[in-house]
Amino acid sequence: QQQVKQSPQSLIVQKGGIPIINCAYENTAFDYFPWYQQFPGKGPALLIAIRPDVSEKKEGRFTISFNKSAKQFSLHIMDSQPGDSATYFCAASPPRLFSGSARQLTFGSGTQLTVLP
């Protein structure tokens, strides 16, 4: 059972466009929602993360929108560039069970983004 559903699977936009990637989750205990960017042959790198007490967070050209009631969150990339072409993963995790316990990330299935020059 996919606890975090991500769409679309692939996305092609022109340079300067605003790709939007959507994720929906089922576990209402999730309280941490990061987005990762992954280039071929590389490890995922954290882009931006949000907690459910805010509805939007912006860092540079990346914005997360969060809708707690709908259990959905999305990534917007402003003024996209060819260098943004990568696979993007949303993820979610529940609170730590106790102080010192580690967060287990559940990833979405990924979106292959291509930004055309």
Partner 1 sequence: AAGVIQSPRHLIKEKRETATLKCYPIPRHDTVYWYQQGPGQDPQFLISFYEKMQSDKGSIPDRFSAQQFSDYHSELNMSSLELGDSALYFCASSRLGGGTTDTQYFGPGTRLTVL
Q: Which residues bind partner 1 (CB under 8 A)?
A: 32, 34, 36, 41-46, 49, 89, 93, 96-97, 99-110
**Closest distance to partner 1 from the beta carbon of 107 (Å):** 4
CA end-to-end span of the chain, whole Å?
37
* Tokens read off for 108: 């979405």
78: CB partners within 8 A, 6+ apart: 18, 61, 62, 63
Instruction: Name which of 67 and 104 has its Cβ closer to partner 1.
Output: 104
Beta carbons of 28 and 112 less than 8 angstroms apart: no
**Closest distance to partner 1 from the beta carbon of 77 (Å):** 19
Instruction: Name which of 69 and 99 has its Cβ closer to partner 1.
Output: 99
Run of H or E residues at 22 = strand 20-25
**Closest distance to partner 1 from the beta carbon of 44 (Å):** 5
**Closest distance to partner 1 from the beta carbon of 43 (Å):** 3
* Tokens read off for 5: 């559903």
d(CA 107, CA 93): 9
Instruction: Name which of 18 and 54 has its Cβ closer to partner 1.
Output: 54
Instruction: Name which of 17 and 107 has its Cβ closer to partner 1.
Output: 107
